[in-house]
A and B are shown apart, each in its own frame.
Chain A
């Protein structure tokens, strides 16, 4: 059951909301339990065999977290190590074991049998979400833990398929706040609008770019124009697919009164690769920084250690996305970009003045180009296919400028580019009324659109929602759901 399906929109969501608020009137605990059960049902709708794995992860980590909190300081490290091993073992077995076997087969010319294993959806997300609470428990940042809230935090249905990666500091206080179990009109207005915007990004933009992307990446020899348009289209497809999912997840959660962190902040307006990572999949970037890069030493041990830590963090970040060398290379490329950027800054020295308009434009263009090149590896089925696409981009497969995408394809590409480069993002449009965003500077936008809950925006959101519902006849999965 995906967000862009009739079952979710007209059955699961209304029933879950109704039950939640009816129960919430008499008992916060019952409402939370209802939401937990609904989350299990949502998770089982993919494959009921996934549930025992989620329960094992949840139960094991809850026990380990309790132990880390309870034991004396001297024993905490051993329990944390056990917890990390437990999580990596689960992730390693279900997600990576066949990748390792296939790699050994390839490197050592072996013929080891691949294992027949199911890959539970969202395992990367719920594993990382739990790792953060375990590490924070070790550092004494978590003093007590309630099972119901922990279980809900782990299996909460809006995030479990494709994030954002949740943090207990954001979620646990909200689950404990009785005010969040009462109907709140503001939450509904913001939630429905975010959901409608996310659905529109997915159905009206991302899904309509698929034919152009598939034509380019499915071609044996993509020529110059086809390669560029295909990679461009994929860059926008991925952005609108994933940020659309995130908007929907945030919107759905908001209907229940809980705010989950925003995940995108106009990433293609980034003026450097490090800026890109502050805007793209923000919750994962935050996790990688706090629980990998900084523990590795960050930039505290000199320039070369910083480069090593950056590369290692991005390589593992790449591998987190999927058990394939293409993701490792994608992560490695971003690590390399970050090293080059920091190296260049080191050579140039700090600048007192911000860059001018032309320089900012050039920075944005260069960053987008670098990100696009890396997306070739992210999208391609294997490394040779990615190299073939890159060869196409430099004319290695021919310089033909003929590519029959059709006027609709070009329109979709132009609209997507306009939205990504020149429009405010959903946070800026919808959440600007809220205190946590009130003082944040807006990103560069040609059209300063601002949402407010009135007649005009009600009509606009209603029409947008209707157009989306009318485009749901053949729902396509979200790209990040595979991770």
Chain B
């Protein structure tokens, strides 16, 4: 429908519009792609050693790229607990290409996708897998940056994805900070430490978020209940399928349950600890079944009420930091080193002796009972820290050892 007023200068309008849009977008994409602030296409380049902001973004992109280039023989899978806690600078896997492929807020499905992705380039000999119960035990992705298109994308598709990701002013802002803002350059990129979150970054992040005491304030005063998984059976079935498939090809598995702090354990599972126990039983059953099929597989539980997880909190000691923990659910790499030693070298004696229990058909019942007893004992010996925990109140009301 032609307008009454004649519109003139259309060709100049389109030329100016097209040129401005194309030049601006192309300029930004070029800057982003060359500087690559999130290391989405860096592996063995000097850019990988350049200092970055502490909160590194779109880490899954970087890790999927690194997996394709580095082709690791040993991989770590799981969530931020694995990403932060399991050290890559370890003698346990000396001589092996090792990559920490855990990503923050990863679900079980994310970890499986990461495993399938890295295996499409080179099947790992061993997978060390930190399992999370709660909402993360599901197939659906938990990390919004873990674009499923990234998984095993061919070079051309990967290039297109990277280009698409580079069409972003937010990335340019970070590129500018890396180039010209010394204050933003805090710590090594995550790939420089083979996928483990660098400690220096964590120190900045913790300081920024108020430190360890503030994190424990929350867990002591309010609790932090974990949402139940929506379909445990489906997720367990998925894990069965994956382990069976990889075991058949000769991959070894080392599963473990994270040593979150005892107060976090009390807060997370205060309403559904029985479901947690059932989950552990199912896991032990699954691992036993694989072992009987000839798979090199183990499952250890480092959670509960042992010498590591019951470390006194800053509110009691008056210190600003803790020896084993960044905060209530994220432990330090020294703890991770002990986990690796216990998982990979079974003959290594636990230091301290009660840290980590092997789960299988023979041990599981006794272990679950010990957990309950440990909980009761912890409640009784830490009345101030556990005063808001429903499970502890119940213990006090009913006496220790309630079912």
Binding site for B on A (CB under 8 A): 6, 174, 177, 179-180, 184-186, 188-189, 192, 259, 433-435, 438, 452-459, 461-463, 465-467, 469-474
Neighbouring A residues of B25 by C-beta, 8 Å: 466, 469-470
Known: A435-B3, A454-B8, A458-B17. 4 other contacts (CB 8 A): A458-B15, A461-B20, A467-B169, A470-B167
**Contact for B24 among A6, A452, A462, CB less than 8 A:** A462
Pair B16/A459 contact, Cβ less than 8 Å: yes
Neighbouring B residues of A474 by C-beta, 8 Å: 144
> How far apart sit A174 and B19, CA to CA, in the bound complex (Å)?
32
**Contact for A454 among B1, B4, B12, CB less than 8 A:** B12
> How far apart sit A23 and B374, CA to CA, in the bound complex (Å)?
76
Pair A462/B19 contact, Cβ less than 8 Å: yes
Contact A466:B8 (CB < 8 A) given known A435-B3, A457-B13? no
Q: What is the distance, in angstroms, from A126's C-beta to the closest C-beta of chain B?
A: 24
Pair B28/A470 contact, Cβ less than 8 Å: yes
Complex A-B: 30 CB contacts under 8 Å: A179-B1, A185-B7, A186-B3, A186-B7, A433-B7, A434-B4, A434-B5, A435-B5, A453-B8, A454-B8, A454-B12, A455-B16, A456-B16, A457-B16, A458-B13, A458-B15, A459-B16, A462-B18, A462-B19, A462-B21, A463-B20, A466-B24, A467-B169, A469-B25, A470-B25, A470-B172, A472-B167, A473-B165, A473-B170, A473-B171
> How far apart sit A286 and B127, CA to CA, in the bound complex (Å)?
63
Q: Mark B1-43, 1 if CB is under 8 A from A, else 0.
A: 1111101111011111111111011001000000000000000
Q: What residue of chain B has the Cβ atom nearest to residue A435's Cβ?
A: B4
Neighbouring A residues of B165 by C-beta, 8 Å: 473
B168 within 8 A of A: yes
> How far apart sit A6 and B163, CA to CA, in the bound complex (Å)?
12
B403 within 8 A of A: no
Q: What residue of chain A has the Cβ atom nearest to residue B171's Cβ?
A: A473
Q: What residue of chain A has the Cβ atom nearest to residue B168's Cβ?
A: A473
Pair B5/A470 contact, Cβ less than 8 Å: no
Q: What is the distance, in angstroms, from B137's C-beta to the closest C-beta of chain A?
A: 23
Q: What residue of chain B has the Cβ atom nearest to residue A457's Cβ?
A: B13
**Contact for A466 among B3, B15, B21, CB less than 8 A:** B21
**Contact for B7 among A174, A179, A189, A459, CB less than 8 A:** A189
Neighbouring B residues of A434 by C-beta, 8 Å: 3-5
**Contact for A186 among B10, B19, B24, CB less than 8 A:** B10
Contact A458:B20 (CB < 8 A) given known A6-B164, A434-B5, A435-B4? yes
> How far apart sit A306 and B1, CA to CA, in the bound complex (Å)?
39
> How far apart sit A12 and B19, CA to CA, in the bound complex (Å)?
22
> How far apart sit A279 and B330, CA to CA, in the bound complex (Å)?
53
Q: What residue of chain B has the Cβ atom nearest to residue A7's Cβ?
A: B164
Q: What residue of chain A has the Cβ atom nearest to residue B58's Cβ?
A: A473
Contact A461:B3 (CB < 8 A) given known A455-B9, A473-B167, A473-B170? no
**Contact for A465 among B8, B17, B164, B171, CB less than 8 A:** B17
> How far apart sit A457 and B16, CA to CA, in the bound complex (Å)?
8
